[in-house]
Amino acid sequence: MQIILASRSPRRKKALRQIVTRFRSIGVSEPRRAKGKTAAQKTSYLALAKCRAAARRFPRALIIAADTLASCRGKIMGKPENRKDARAMLKRLSGQRLDVATSIAIAIPGRQQALCWPECGWVKFRKLGEDEISRYLSSSLWRGKAAAVNAEEKPVRNWIVKKGGEFGAVAGLPAKKLGKALHDIGI
């Protein structure tokens, strides 16, 4: 069976390679607005939307889609629109806990309903200095990342002082949980 990852994210491709060796990665459009009040509700809505869009294009393939949102001090933080937005996010994260929800959606050929569930994790950051924020922003590593950070890349992983929950959710694709779900459906 063909497996489609409805994402071009390098992090998600790397995580999926831990589970399956052959899959195709595609980009899909997603709604501009997500329904739901919490990050978990919003990511579930968006993951399902991506999954359904890919399933319409590839009806005989198993589709995997995911979406990630982060929140800090009660504010949901998506991907920064520009450097100024990224700076504001990093200042908000400095010395704080970042809660992250990643929802996974799986469309199985021949089944009416897609599987979808959120996984949640968190990381606590040390206080960040203005110089290190500026250096990080100059690197462009913040582009395309929820809350402007990827917890697996330097220097961000060095900023983390504690973590909890499902770390795969923080990284963008909970590979262990996805692997179990795929195993349970016979993949």
pTM of the model: 0.87
> Distance between CA atoms of 66 and 5, rounded to whole angstroms?
9
> Distance between CA atoms of 64 and 117, rounded to whole angstroms?
12
CATH number at residue 176: 3.90.950.10
Residues 116/47, Cβ–Cβ less than 8 Å: yes
Token output for 170:
């923080």
pLDDT in 10s for each residue of the chain, 187 residues: 899 999 998 889 999 999 998 999 999 987 777 888 888 899 999 999 999 999 999 999 999 999 988 999 988 888 899 999 999 999 999 999 999 999 999 999 988 889 999 999 999 999 999 999 999 999 989 998 889 998 888 899 999 999 999 888 998 899 999 999 999 988 8
Strands 160-165 and 75-77: unpaired
Structural domain of 42: 3-184
Closest CA to 4 of 51, 70, 69, 68: 51
Whether 85 sits among the annotated catalytic residues: the reply is no
Q: Is 186 left (phi over 0), alpha (psi -120 to 50) or beta?
A: left
Provide the domain count of the chain.
1
